[in-house]
Amino acid sequence: MSEALYLDPLGTAVLAAKKLEELTGKPSHDVALVMGSGWIGAADYLGTPTHEFPATDLPGFLAPTVAGHGGVIRSYTLGGVNALVFLGRTHLYEGKGIEPVVHGVRTAVKAGCRVVVLTNACGGINREYKVGQPVIIRDHLSLTGVSPLIGADFVDLTDLYSKRLRELVKSEDNSLVEGVYAHWRGPAYETPAEIHMMRTLGADLVGMSTVPEAIAAHALGAEVLGISLVTNAAAGVTGEKLSHEEVMAAGKAAAGRMGELLSRVLVKI
Ligand code: 8IG
């Protein structure tokens, strides 16, 4: 099936959406949530899913490769809202190309989702940010230069991260601030000089996900909300070294707060 994904990405997303309908018995879903590393624990605060299965049960999905990146799909019905939740995602640094990276959100939109919520764990470039702090993504810098779009698809990205959704989240938690997210391919973290460059360019956050999915979802007409959890100070900010364990621990510590925030936002979306 993965060949079909590369040959016909949207067709494969339609097939995956059909299989999702078969597996859940729900003719459509309304909202999708992509739970990045550090956010998987937050999903447990959403309530009890009606269905849960490995992402690989749907056409076009790859098995996960990183510890703590689930590769599991859940379906919830929460206050009349059908929510599709991806525990884990595929990243550019896995080297499988851009198609698998955006296949989840394309499947979600083909399944009917009008809103796509993208979460991630990231490094804090902005010196005012603390580890464990959630930040709403206001805008991004695509530093990879990789787009999920092919051909003359000249999509406007002026309101990529929906103002309506950003305001909705802030009305639920007025302590939340907004920032600019820089997308870095990885898998190596940045050098201190690269972080200095990004700060100079206007970035507040840096991570290895979210940007391609946001573009792909928006290009198909979905409204996008992005929330980052700062799980480490970016390279050179504190002088400490960066570790994946630190990231997972910060995610675990914030899971309750993040899960409750998402629950409240979901039913109002
Ligand atoms: I979590 O400091 C996490 N993901 N590029 N830099 C980049 N990605 C990250 C970082 C970071 N922390």
Quick: pLDDT tens for 78-89: 989 999 999 999
pLDDT in the model for residue 4:
84
| Residue 133 pLDDT class (50, 70, 90 cuts) | very high
- Identify the active-site residue in 91, 140, 183, 218: 91
Q: How far apart are CA 185 and CA 174, in angstroms?
A: 32
- Would you call 111 helix, strand, or coil by DSSP? coil
Give the Å distance between the CA of 136 and the centre of ligand 1: 16
How crowded is the C-beta side of 24, counted as CA atoms within 13 Å? 26
Strands (E) in 56-172, as ranges, are 72-78, 81-87, 115-124, 134-142
Please give the C-alpha separations between residue 30 and each of 59, 105, 180, 255, in angstroms, as whole numbers. Answer: 20, 12, 27, 23
Active site residue 121: yes
Active site residue 189: no
Residue with the larger pLDDT of the pair 244 and 197: 197
The protein residue with its alpha carbon nearest to ligand 1, atom 3, reads 122
Residue with the larger pLDDT of the pair 233 and 67: 233
Cis preceding-peptide flag for 187 (omega within 30 of 0)? yes
The protein residue with its alpha carbon nearest to ligand 1, atom 2, reads 123
Mean pLDDT rounded to a whole number for the chain? 93
Q: Which phi and psi (to 5°) does residue 145 adopt?
A: 70, 10
The packing angle between helices 211-219 and 99-110, to 10°, is 40
Active site residue 178: no
Determine contact, residues 212/147, Cβ cutoff 8 Å: yes
Of 39, 141, 184, the residue with max ligand 1 atoms within 8 A of its CB, to mutate for a pocket test, comes to 184
Share of the chain above pLDDT 90, in %: 78
Fold of 3-266: Rossmann fold (3.40.50)
| Residue 67 pLDDT class (50, 70, 90 cuts) | low
DSSP, res 173: -
Q: What is the mean pLDDT of residues 36-40?
A: 84
Q: What is the pTM of this model?
A: 0.96
Q: Which residues contact 22 (CB under 8 A, 6 or more apart)?
A: none
pLDDT in the model for residue 242:
82
